[in-house]
Structure 1
Amino acid sequence: MLSEEDCSSIDIQSLSQQSDYQLVYFYDHDSFHHYCILYEVSQSTGLGTFVVNLAGTIPVSIGIPHPIYDSNTELQGAGVFKKSGAQTLLISGIIRNACNQTSECQSGYYVTDPAHNINNGFFEVVMMLKEYYEQNNLPLLHLQLHGMSEASCSDIDVLLSSGLKIKPDNNSFLSKFTSQLRTQVDSLDDPWFIFLYQDDTLHDSCDLYGTSNTEGRGLNGVDSSLVCSTSSSFISHSFIHAEQKYFIRQNRSYDLFWANALKYSYSSVYCLPIRDNVGGSCLVVDSSSLINFSQFLFLFIFFIFFIFL
């Protein structure tokens, strides 16, 4: 069984005398999951929190770029992470409008917005995850949770996209995830209206598809040095941009809907043994190749070196 010594085996203080981070081990008695948590102590740099589920079953990263500002997404992200078996959780440590200086990356946003800049820990860690999973021949999925106002997108409750205005293939992960999420909420008295771009004109006034999102562009194949100004041209199936109304992200019982949709859609696409009777065609992924604890130690070191060196 993993222990506290496993996480503390990385001496982060020796990496930099300016270290303001702590790496701790946490065992959740409810879920029986083991976690390593890297977090900022004084919150002086705003680089955020990075959590690894040492028994994670699906190569999914949950990303929360706008905590507080997109209210309750930080709580929702933690809930979905815990209940889905995703391997990593990344929460930005700064509010997107903390500094009113205009971004040099994308002029329509603040310099402190991690979803529209590249000189921040959030973007760098997502790109590190992408490279790390590719090296291990595993399909990474980064689910980024956002919040939209009640006035946005008229009657749409959840708007899902790949970061592009392109209709996804019916067998793609995004299409299957959308279908699974709709199935999860069908039992509600008032099911959510979940919208996925389908090349129609019904909701042309809604433009929250994450097309300028820097992490989305990077995951969709744009070189990291070009994501500020270059749009993606194809879907990599590594990025899901989710906009949602407040009533969804404030209700913790709804976290399970997102978690189940992740688990079931991932198993149906990649044949991971997450549930029985998956059925249909899928891409075979050897579950024994899921990144293990010793490999995650290296990922932590990469993250720490970016912060401190």
Structure 2
Amino acid sequence: MQRRVAHVAVAAVAATAAFATAAQAASPTVTTRTAGTVRQTAATLRGTVNPHGTPTTYSFQWGTSATYGQQTPNRSAGRGTGGRDVSVRVGGLAPGTVYHYRIVATNADGTTVGRDRTFRTALPPATPPAILGTAPFAPYANSVTLTALLNPGGAQTTYKFQFGTTNAYGAETFAATVPAGVQPVSVRVPLSGLQARTTYHFRTIASNRRGTVVGPDTTFTTGPFPPARLGARTQPTRQRRSHPYFITRGVLRLAEGVSVADGCNGIVGVRFTNGRRTVAHRRMRLASGHCSYRLRMRAVPPRGKSKLRVHVRFYGNAILTPADARTYLVRFR
């Protein structure tokens, strides 16, 4: 009986020693806790670290997204075997902004990362909103997108656009809202059903609980607009009948104020003619965001003729009218 008790006692001591060794040979355990004392420009990041008996350091990663980008200096969490509450005060934050953070702890047995948490910094006392800028975007023949840059002034803000063919306006968009904050917010409203080739006036009106502001009068003109110039060149300018191949290339030059994204889309066509007769014709679509084109074609004049005239045409799009390049001749020998 005494021998059995002795064996049990030895087993218990061995299990206790094994548990202690395992506890010492473990990476830290961490918990990211709720942030404390959150102000307009500062907050306290809090967490819990269990070093499991090994000297351990900790830090906090933080930033305006879950990729963080900022990290506090390493601090010691000691070498205890129980959870220890830790905290770091961070400053230089933007008011009314959501921040992400998590705790990270490291010892000789590894690194442990806590789960992501967030907090929002406090807002300053509300002020009337500010309209920092307005602009039309992509005016087409019958539509446009009105844009504005607003600062909500620390309170939920309602905005709308007034528009019309004079500065008396006469029409307005439905009201929309942006949340409370002090960072500039870009807003936009698409309009359709407009008259082609017409100048419109518009302005922005923004309101919150501290007041209403009216933006400046701004104008835009609907399309379609003529391109500045359609360039074209065909090579060779003299060709053999036995090898009647030509390459026509050029660039669509846009008028001022027309973006490449809006203007450089559509069809370019090349025709070779002899008198009123078309002997070759081919079209291609401009690649998105590119204003240049290149077409390789086979063109043979009628028997007894030695010249062909080259015609290049841009067929227009929602914002540009069709345009023709200057015609020219190619010859055969």
TM-score for the superposition, normalised by structure 1? 0.18
Which structure is higher in helix share? 1
TM-score for the superposition, normalised by structure 2? 0.17
Report 1 or 2 for greater relative contact order, CA contacts < 8 Å, sequence distance ≥ 6. 1
Which structure is higher in strand share? 2
